[in-house]
Structure 1
Amino acid sequence: MIRTRLRQVALILFAMLVGFIGLFQMFERTTGTFPANYAVLLGVVALMALGSWALVLRFQPYASQTVMACVLLLNAVGVTMIARIDQSMGTAIAFRQLLWQALAIVLATLLIVFLKDYRVLRRFSYVSMVTGLVLLLSPMLPFIGADINGARVWIVIPFTNSTIQPGEFAKLFLAFFFAAYLFDHRDQLAVGGKKFLGLQLPRIKDMGPIIIVWFASMGVLILQHDLGTSLMFFAMFVSMLYVATGRRSWIVIGLLAFAAGAVAAAGIFSHVGSRVDAWLEPFSAEQYNKEIGGSWQIVTGIFGLASGGILGTGLGEGYPSLTTYGNSDFIYTSLGEELGLTGLMAILMIYLTIIASGFITAMKIKDGFGKLLASGLVFTMAFQVFTVVGGTTLVIPLTGMTLPYMAAGGSSLIANYILAALLVVISNAANKPEPDHDLSETFQYEALAALRDHELKERSAR
């Protein structure tokens, strides 16, 4: 046990050490000195991270420590690159990012301490649905909604110039609802209909949920001009639907439905079509010189990646500030320029470690609701990483989403820290030894759910 605890704290300390060395090297190369305000704030954040680790041991003793250590490491690398771009642009976004990180650690720790049993979230499934939809649609309200860079996904905090992106928090509440709903209706949704090309198609009467979510996703795409959020929510629901039923036909239907909707939207709405045109012909003079919706940002990021090569130019030696939003939407290309392909592969491996840890938790947990929630949360993060990396490297059209834990922005940072905290809580239940008594809490939850499903079937038969 002591050896395990030493390994865990070693992971936390390693993440902090990497962050400090990166910032120190970058500041020495760009300014010749390490700013005192950064040194003080880094010390505070480090103490808070160690305190959070100690509280996890106290309140979630069987939880996996891998997730939080990887999150801290990604956060440290991201802050370093944001501070690097600050030196070129004369801004102080990295200092504000550290403040957001401190707040995110506090909120994540409070969740870990007070959420002793994640299954309580199942009781508030429809409250979570309403909350998620309100957050998702709140940018459409007058006075508080803000249209930035063609997407209306922001709300302005009253009496300030600050904005938040409520969609980042909406994904958490909708994940709670999807997990509860699919857990309660998994038997009905798993019943197959006719076979077509080797796939067991679902029954027509079971298509209602996916149709509703499809309309909601298309609504976000059309009204808010946000391809990334629309795609993320629909993909999250379809992936959780597959986990709940085990039927590949849901994946095929989901892909075809969203592809058809996206193609139709690209032909009807200019903001979607411009993204696709910039992706198909990024190096054409027409797309490159287009003032709105062109490919200038994508091409600049690609050239930044190319100049980094295998090992990169080195921290402080590149020109990542030339790319618009190089500290947020395009932070992946900024990192590729100064850390090279080697650094990018290391970053993707850290993400893969978090994703693998989350899926291992989902496989180990015996509670069906926890299995769906863990897999839904980790898939959402994995899909977000894929869309950001794929968009900046011309694999898919640009979506405008931010890289979790690394890109500048308080909304994304706090929401993804809470996501990681939820994975920690679920992993504690997954790794907890089975109690000696005959009827565990997990079995009670499963028995009650089975009894309720049986009562529903009897009522429908009547």
Structure 2
Amino acid sequence: MSNHPPRQGRNVELALVITAVAIVLLAYVNVGLATSGSIPPGTLALAGGYLALAVGFHLVLRWRASYADPLMLPIVTLLNGLGLVMIHRIDLANGKSIADGVALRQLVWTGVAMVIAAIVLVVLRDHRVLRRYTYLAGAIGFALLLLPLLPVIGTSIYGSRIWIQVGPLSFQPGEIAKIALAIFFAGYLVQTRDALSVAGRKVLGLTLPRARDLGPILVAWLASLAVLIFERDLGSSLLFFGLFVAMLYVATERVSWIAIGLTLFCVGAYVAYLVFGHVQTRVLLWLDTFSPEALAASDQLAKGLMGMAAGGMFGTGLGRGRPDLTYFAESDFIIPSFGEEIGLIGLFALLMLYALLVQRGLRTSLGTRDGFGKLLAAGLSFSVALQCFVVVGGVTRVIPLTGLTMPFLSSGGSSLLANWTLVAILLRISDHARRPPPEVSGPSPVAEARTEVVRMR
């Protein structure tokens, strides 16, 4: 049996990070050549700054988490960088310079998010410490969800009350709430999974849980409905309830919880459709996008679909399309913006990056030796997967629009802060999962027992 420790992969990570920044640089230059016919001024300075941020984060991993997964950082570096390029490209289409555009603000938020994520890695030496704060994390998560309802700082934007405004700064606390709630769900389900796994009656081939064990999922369902009712935020409501059901399934390994969760979701969705006008509008836009009634309500989805159709298989080329014709092309509809300019093949490449990121997170969950870490890594990975599905499904008419943003690609400081912190926690868990166990000095307990038996004989 080999005693060699697993490879750390830090050199591979560094090479991939440099490659990711090079791809971002190439895309940025391509936009400049397509829009103005010349390389944008300050290109090397911007590329050097972004490379310094990524390499600095890599050095923190070498220092504090040397066995962390070597693919996560290059993936998010590439996704974040491509998002910056597309936001800059939309700024140019809207007649904004680098100084007054959204891309510069997004770059600043990227730096802040990476620094905070690095601090999380330095401070959080062991992810199992988070289990001590299970109920505190739950209280913080629910408090963040309720924060936009406060009369002074809570702000309603386009019908959804999910923002807080403090002076010139606005923030979406629900992005941070998903991390706090994932910690709470992981800690709670580790303690109660034995009770929740007890079998009840068998109906239609499914072993249902006992009626008295339905309390947690009903509370999560009611909380998600409260978010939908009071904040009019369909996306966050779906994300939080789906996160709990997924982690409940991972904890108990019972398919019946998935069936119960889907049933409750369908009931809640139907009731919301009957009661709320904005839900009815989104269903109309989903089912009959190009009807006169739908276009009179909003032509955003129709323009996004036509933009992706114009891109075709290979796209119009970076800087050669018109993604600015779609509203919120840099945030909610950044996927159609990419689809128009890099085509279906390029869009599939982006989705494969997300799939690989989720796969590495789930692999971390499988390799972790403690139950809390398994659930937390699985929950954080699933939250990224579900958010990507909801966003891409909404802009391609697979499901109704929900208003969520694409992780790392869309503009928004709160989204970047939350998702970089999420990746930092996953990296910390993966370091623990891949790190070899400490060697036990002296003879093993099994050898000592055998020696004692020989002596007794």
User: Which runs of 5 or more residues in structure 1 are unaligned?
Assistant: 439-462
CA distance in 2, matches of 1:414, 1:68: 15
Please point out which of 73, 77, 80 is paired with 1:75: 80
1:37-58 alpha-carbon deviations (Å, 9 max, x no partner):
5643432221121011011011
> Which residue is equivalent to 2:196?
189
Q: Deviations over 1:229-251 (max 9, x none)?
A: 00000000000000000000000
Q: Deviations over 1:183-231 (max 9, x none)?
A: 0101000001000001010111111111111100000011111100000
Q: Who is 2:419 aligned against? A: 416
Render the CA deviation track for 1:111-136: whole Å, top value 9, x for unaligned: 11121100110001111011111111
1:18 to 16, 19, 23: 23
Task: Return structure 1 stretches of 4+ with deviation > 3 angstroms.
Answer: 1-5, 32-39
**Stretch deviating more after TM superposition (330-339 or 105-114):** 105-114
Distance 1:132 1:86 in 2: 34
Which of the numbers 333, 339, 343 marks the counterpart of 1:340? 343
Q: Contact between 1:38 and 1:95, CA under 8 Å: does it hold in 2?
A: no
Within 5 Å, give how 1:180-259 maps onto structure 2. Answer: 180-259=187-266
Per-residue CA deviations over 1:428-461 (Å, capped at 9, x if unaligned) read 01001122239xxxxxxxxxxxxxxxxxxxxxxx
Q: What are the ranges of 5 or more consecutive residues in structure 2 without an aligned counterpart?
A: 1-5, 442-457
**Alpha-carbon distance between aligned partners in 2 of 1:34 and 1:113, rounded to the nearest angstrom:** 38
**Structure 1 contact 310–340 (Cα < 8 Å) conserved:** yes
Range moving further from structure 2, 52-61 or 389-398? 52-61
Q: Partner amino acid for 1:18?
A: I
Tell me by how many angstroms 1:8 deviates.
Answer: 1.5
Query: Is residue 401 of structure 2 the alignment partner of residue 398 of structure 1?
Result: yes
Aligned to 1:355: 358
Which one of 85, 100, 103 corresponds to residue 94 of structure 1? Answer: 103
**What's the secondary structure of 1:336's corresponding residue?**
helix
In 2: Cα distance, 1:45 partner to 1:377 partner = 26
Cα deviation, residue 304, structure 1: 0.4
Q: Which amino acid aligns with 2:87?
A: I
Equivalent-residue separation in structure 2 for 1:219 and 1:313 (angstroms): 43
Other structure's SS at 1:163 match: strand
Are 2:365 and 2:378, in contact at CA under 8 Å, matched by a contact in 1?
yes
Residues 373-452 of structure 1: pairs in structure 2 closer than 5 A? 373-437=376-440
What are the equivalent positions in structure 2 for 1:128-143 lying under 5 Å apart? Answer: 128-143=137-152
Structure number, greater radius of gyration: 2
Note if 1:151 corresponds to 2:160. yes
1:9 corresponds to which letter in structure 2?
Answer: L
How far has the Cα of 1:313 moved from its partner?
0.1
What SS does structure 1 have at the residue aligned with 2:238? Answer: helix
* One of 63, 84, 89 as aligned partner of 1:84: 89
- Greater shift after overlay, 22-31 or 147-156? 22-31
**1:31 Cα shift?**
2.6
The letter of the residue matching 1:150 is: G
In percent, how many aligned pairs have the same letter? 47
Residue 142 of structure 1: SS of its match in structure 2?
A: coil
Q: Which residue of 2 aligns with 1:106?
A: 115
Q: Give the drift of 1:420.
A: 0.6
Q: Structure 2: how far apart are the matches of 1:423 and 1:195?
A: 37
Which SS does the other structure have where 1:195 is aligned?
strand
Deviations 1:11-41 (A, max 9, x none): 1001100111111110122133444456434
Deviation at 1:3, TM superposition (A): 9.5
- Would you say the 8 A contact 1:97–1:409 is kept in 2? yes
Separation in 2, partners of 1:419, 1:125: 17
- For the pair 1:167 / 2:174, whether they are aligned, the reply is yes
Q: Are residue 260 (structure 1) and residue 253 (structure 2) matched?
A: no
Verify the 8 A CA contact 2:9 2:70 in the aligned structure 1. no
1:458 paired residue number? none
3-state SS of paired residue (1:289): helix
Give the counterpart letter for 1:66 in structure 2: L
Query: Cα deviation per residue 1:264-289 (whole Å; 9 max; x = unaligned)?
Result: 11111111111111111111111112
For residues 426 and 53 of structure 2, the distance between their equivalents in structure 1, rounded to whole angstroms, comes to 19
The 8 Å contact of residues 29 and 40 in structure 2, kept in 1 or not, is answered as: no
Q: Distance in 2 between matches of 1:59 and 1:5?
A: 12
Q: Distance in 1 between matches of 2:400 and 2:56?
A: 41
Residue 317 (structure 2) aligns with = 314
Q: CA RMSD in A?
A: 1.4
Contact 1:41/1:98 (8 A) holds in 2: no
